[in-house]
Amino acid sequence: MAIHKAKNILVAPLDWGLGHTTRCVPIIRYLRSLGHQVIFAGNEWQRSFTRATFVNIPNVDLEGYNISYSKWNRFAQAGVLSQLPGLHKRITDEHKWLAQTAHGLKLDGIVSDNRYGIFHEDIPSVIMTHQLQVQTGMGNLMDRMVQKIHYKYLDRFDATWVVDSPVSPGLGGILSHAPILPKESRYIGLLSQFEGVETDNTKGDDLLILLSGPEPQRTDLSRILWQEVQGYNGKVIFVEGSNSAVAHASIPKHITYYKLLANEQLVPLLAGAGIVICRSGYSTLMDLVALHKKAILIPTPGQTEQKYLGKHLHETGVFYTTRQIGFHLNDALKESEHFPYNSLSLKGAYSVYKQVIDDWLQAL
């Protein structure tokens, strides 16, 4: 693509776990490969990950939404709903932040990943999402009401980029394939920080544990899995997914422990993994599919999107899914041995975004 003038593009992902940040990696990489200047906006640990992934990337501090999930599973869903007023305030505050900051950054375009206040009336702004039909877990009527509110937020942007293949069910199923689409929407395919990386899922026998997601549920699952792998008869790679995690005082010889890794550090670990244990977050799923890896999914309690994705992909034979409550490693591994692990027909899905970005840049 010929460039007439380098553009300044702000990229601002949501902070619910690391997934929204990692799936922006191919977006940032492609924009920079075209000669454009990318300015990354995020909280401290998001910016730390991005600095470790990209050399000399300008960044600005943007406070996160700081959503948390109740440590008591049966109250998790209600806990998220109770935080909605705070979310609305945070969206309002980040919109004010952008209005005050945009001129100094000399922005030509904005890419928001699920941050609903990061749009500007005078600067072309797009929002990325994979959730068109939000799963509330409270019935179809509530789902439709929430979708209506959701679309009002999406329509504040000049365009919505839907992160999935346009052909249903894609990866996201009904989440990303609603009967009615937002205004000016376009499917951009799948996004993975490991785009173009080749691994052989027939090789390697390591058990790789990749933790992610909001607190306190990330820590709760970490405790469960750490206890379970103590007696595991094999090599374990344990990645906390958080720089703030408290390192264990004693680490058995069969366990290699990390807090947080950049994508190039994760590649050899994934290549050597016979099976991965992780959450059913959408970005994690896109990475697993891109690398053709087998996985045991443990949806975050109270996160209805992850529960839906886990159930959907288990029923279609793509990934084995189990619950966090009562999880036992040996049982899960034994049951997953007989799971089909079907491949998804998503040829070319990981390159669609390039044409979408090209068209958007031409219009700036």
User: Mind listing the pLDDT tens digit for each residue in 153-211?
Assistant: 999 999 999 999 999 999 999 999 999 999 999 999 999 999 877 665 556 789 999 99
- Residues near 345 by beta carbon (within 8 Å), at least 6 away in sequence: none
For 157-169, what is each residue's pLDDT tens digit? 999 999 999 999 9
Q: In what order do the strands lie in the sheet with 159-162?
A: 59-61, 37-42, 8-13, 109-113, 125-129, 159-162, 185-187
Task: Name the amino acid, one letter, at 327.
Answer: F
Average pLDDT along the chain: 89
Interior CA angle at 269 toward 266 and 274, to 5°?
135
Predicted pLDDT at 195: 86
Global pTM? 0.91
Q: Given a cut of 80, is residue 75 above it in pLDDT?
A: no
For 246-294, what is each residue's pLDDT tens digit? 888 899 999 999 998 877 888 889 888 999 999 999 999 999 999 999 9
For 93-132, what is each residue's pLDDT tens digit? 999 999 999 999 999 999 999 999 999 999 999 999 999 9
Predicted pLDDT at 73: 44
Please tell me whether residue 10 adopts helix, strand or coil conformation: strand
Q: Given a cut of 80, is residue 69 above it in pLDDT?
A: no
Q: Given a cut of 90, is residue 229 above it in pLDDT?
A: yes
Average pLDDT, integer, range 15-44: 94
Report the range of poorest mean pLDDT among 82-91, 251-260, 322-331: 82-91
Q: Given a cut of 70, is residue 81 above it in pLDDT?
A: no
> 79 pLDDT band (50/70/90 cuts)?
very low
Q: Is the dihedral of CA 55, 213, 186, 39 positive or negative?
A: negative
Distance CA 32, CA 359 (A): 16
Sequence length of the chain is: 364
Average pLDDT, integer, range 307-316: 96
Predicted pLDDT at 84: 57
Domains and CATH numbers, the chain: 8-193+348-363 (3.40.50.2000), 206-336 (3.40.50.2000)
> 72 pLDDT band (50/70/90 cuts)?
very low
- Residues near 261 by beta carbon (within 8 Å), at least 6 away in sequence: 239, 269
Q: At 144, which helix (H) or strand (E)? A: helix 140-154
Bridge partners of residue 13, in order along the sequence: 113
For the chain, give the percent of residues with pLDDT over 70: 91
> 56 pLDDT band (50/70/90 cuts)?
very high
Angstrom CA distances, 133 to 128, 158, 218, 304, stand at 14, 20, 25, 12
Please tell me whether residue 251 adopts helix, strand or coil conformation: coil
| Cβ-defined contacts of 259-267 (< 8 Å, 24+) | 260/18, 260/45, 260/48, 260/49, 262/49, 262/52, 262/53, 263/22, 263/25, 263/53, 263/193, 263/194, 264/53, 266/194, 266/239, 267/194, 267/197, 267/199
